[in-house]
Structure 1
Amino acid sequence: MMRAPTRRSVLSTGLAAGILAAPGVRAQAARRRVRFCLDWTWQSAHSAWTLAADRGFFSEAGIDVQIDRGFGSGDTMTKVAAGTYDIGFADTNLLLKFNHENPTAQLTSVFILYDASPNAAIFLKSSGITKPKDLEGRKISVTDGEGTRLLFPIFARANQLDMSKIELLSVTAQLRDTMVVQRRADATLGFLTTTALNMVGAGVPRGDIGWLQYNSWGVALYSSGLVVRKDYAERNPEAVSAFIAATIRGLRAMLADPVAAMASLKRREALIDEAIEISRNELINEVALLTANVRANGVSTVDRARFEASAAQVAEAFQIPIRPPMDFTYTDRFLPADRKII
């Protein structure tokens, strides 16, 4: 015979259910929300984070991550500084200028992904451009706020270019590379890993595309990495460390299984060409990510002398009257000891 529930049985059952559910509830509640903004539209390099999300690396690290596309490094940094996002992926060379101009909302890089900057001037070889001086007298398509455009004065200064002899055509990101393919511009500025593969996707044979990578022409820059507000990092050290740890796991997974990584990316942007993105990733590995330093010592292994020398170039190009130490724009305090990714 069924018995009507008593107040005591209801309370006992509810308490027991609460005890049983508590571990899962606590685990879910413990996951801190982190809003993350990329530097650009979805591309192969971003698959380290999409794969980390899909395989549960963020959740296992105790964070719940929202990943959004970006609209240029400058735009991403502005949004992180404003508190719209907690962490951004951006060209860390721009931090010196940003921090100098925004002393009350300073950012710091906590992880450098690219050991060599893929910033470059990209062109069709038929243009006859083979060296920096050949850019004089040319039209170059650029997108305002994009990292390579903002850093171009450093490249120009290092190679003694007369900027008055170069016509910069300000266009949208969607038109920038197309301008070169259509021969409406002689060259463009961007990450060569982005632009070169965009041109391939537009039907240009890769062998017809040339570039002048900043790092090969007197500007030994580090490049893109994770940036946060300094005060956010101080208040949330566990979240920053967890995000970096999951990022490193994502990088290892991306390098071990690029096909799965691109499939993860395609779940966010159905229009990407997975074959193109795999080729893009191979180029990134070649020119920016898997340098001898990273292979030997791990990702985000930063040499202070090199960092401060390139920061001095940035300061000079932007006419910033300071020569700050590395700690002004970069810290390694949130990095794990093991940062090997291959």
Structure 2
Amino acid sequence: MITVTALILAAGCSDSNDKKDRPGQPEKVTYLTGAGILGRESYVYVAMEKGYFRDAGFEVEVKPGIGTENNLKLLQSGAVDFAVVDITAALIAYGKGTFRDFTVVSAIQQRNLACFMALSGSGISTPKDLEGKRIAYIQGGIVKTLFDTYAKLAGVDATKVTWVQMQPQDLVKGLGSGSVDAATQFVVGKPQVEQVAQQKGQQAVVLPFSDQLVDLYGNGLGVSRKAITGDPDRVKRFNAAMLEGLRYALDHPDEAGLIYTKYQKTQPQPVATAEMRLMVPYAKAGSAPVGRLDEQKITRNIAALQGGGAIPATINPRDIINFDYVPAS
């Protein structure tokens, strides 16, 4: 994990002069995904393929993220320009004082995707079954960060869980090999886990955090405070182009899956499409525009985290969220 972070940091520093493009040329920027580059990230490639980023003045390099904490570290260092962060994990990091030099400008998912996944042969079917089990996680990921709060609400003894750190690409492999009993995941990752389960004659078991924590946002687009103060129009243009790609991908998941496989080979088109289909009810919330962030809901997010002991003090939503970039309609 340290090696991957160091490589991205080094790449970000060495590319700093490359971002100063000639007048009339698109600006080269780096975008960090949440964790790995899977079908759920199809929307960023849709924005590239459809020319939304180009029209906004950007040439985007997509890099695989490695969890919210690491993404915030790279964002604050200037190694990347834009990064996907779990909004709840970002609230926790800010509340604990771990990271402060960032802000979130839009919500990619209106509901949190965090969950545990297991295979039916693991003996796990309820949260209580996690006790005594080995659970794979990625360092700095939202599921482990939120676990103590989730465990209190779900009646799980958190001290009876054994954590096994893995790289994002190894979580599902760990389930297949039996080296772990469950893995931290996003609910949209079910198609990939189902492929492994079917090979063993089993089924995928999903334990969503939203069953216990019903009012938490999922991922959002994060930027540094310096990016906001230095060139707010640049942030506005990028955010609008990304959200245009997200809207199109949610409305056309089959096409989004095809576009994903043009740029990435990590998942086949049917799996990438299935991930986008599963994300629709999490990214859309009634008549609210895609990307919308509501101050009252953020306040409830904060209250839920405080009630669960995840953050020690009161946070003003505007300390973390910049509502100037949120779509109004």
Name the TM-score, length of structure 1 as normaliser: 0.81
Q: In the superposition, relative to structure 1, how do residues 218 and 76 fare at CA in structure 2: closer, same or farther (>3 Å)?
A: closer
Matched, 1:106 2:98: no
Structure 1 residue 265: Cα displacement: 1.7
- Letter aligned with residue 246 of structure 1: A
> 1:119, 1:192 within 8 Å by CA — same for their partners in 2?
yes
Q: In the superposition, relative to structure 1, how do residues 121 and 238 fare at CA in structure 2: closer, same or farther (>3 Å)?
A: same
Residue 201 of structure 1: aligned partner? 195
Segment of structure 1 superposing worse, 174-183 or 70-79 = 174-183
Residue 36 of structure 1: aligned partner? 31
Residue 47 of structure 1: aligned partner? 42
- Letter aligned with residue 199 of structure 1: V
Report the Cα distance in structure 2 between the residues aligned to 1:166 and 1:105, rounded to whole angstroms.
30
Q: Percent identity at matched positions?
A: 21
Q: In the superposition, relative to structure 1, how do residues 308 and 225 fare at CA in structure 2: closer, same or farther (>3 Å)?
A: same
Structure 1 residue 260: Cα displacement: 3.0
Q: SS at 1:27's partner residue?
A: coil
Structure 1 residue 81: Cα displacement: 0.9
Task: Give unpaired runs (5+ residues) of structure 1.
Answer: 1-24
Report the Cα distance in structure 2 between the residues aligned to 1:317 and 1:309, rounded to whole angstroms.
12
Task: Give unpaired runs (5+ residues) of structure 2.
Answer: 1-21
Matched, 1:129 2:124: yes
Deviation digits for residues 109-145 of structure 1 (CA, Å, limit 9, x no counterpart): 1001111111001122343433322222222222222
Residue 149 of structure 1: aligned partner? 144
Structure 1 residue 103: Cα displacement: 7.4
Deviation digits for residues 11-30 of structure 1 (CA, Å, limit 9, x no counterpart): xxxxxxxxxxxxxx8533xx
Residue 59 of structure 2: aligned partner? 64
Report the Cα distance in structure 1 between the residues aligned to 2:67 and 2:272, rounded to whole angstroms.
19
Q: In the superposition, relative to structure 1, how do residues 117 and 135 fare at CA in structure 2: closer, same or farther (>3 Å)?
A: same
- Letter aligned with residue 294 of structure 2: D
Structure 1 residue 309: Cα displacement: 2.4
- Letter aligned with residue 202 of structure 1: V
> 1:115, 1:223 within 8 Å by CA — same for their partners in 2?
yes
Structure 1 residue 272: Cα displacement: 2.5
Residue 308 of structure 1: aligned partner? 299
Matched, 1:27 2:24: yes
Report the Cα distance in structure 1 between the residues aligned to 2:316 and 2:227, rounded to whole angstroms.
21
| Cα RMSD for the two superposed structures | 2.4
Q: In the superposition, relative to structure 1, how do residues 282 and 176 fare at CA in structure 2: closer, same or farther (>3 Å)?
A: same
> 1:96, 1:315 within 8 Å by CA — same for their partners in 2?
no
Q: SS at 1:116's partner residue?
A: coil
Larger radius of gyration: 1
Name the TM-score, length of structure 2 as normaliser: 0.84
Residue 289 of structure 1: aligned partner? 283
Residue 75 of structure 2: aligned partner? 80
Structure 1 residue 278: Cα displacement: 0.9
Report the Cα distance in structure 1 between the residues aligned to 2:149 and 2:50, rounded to whole angstroms.
40
> 2:38, 2:266 within 8 Å by CA — same for their partners in 1?
no
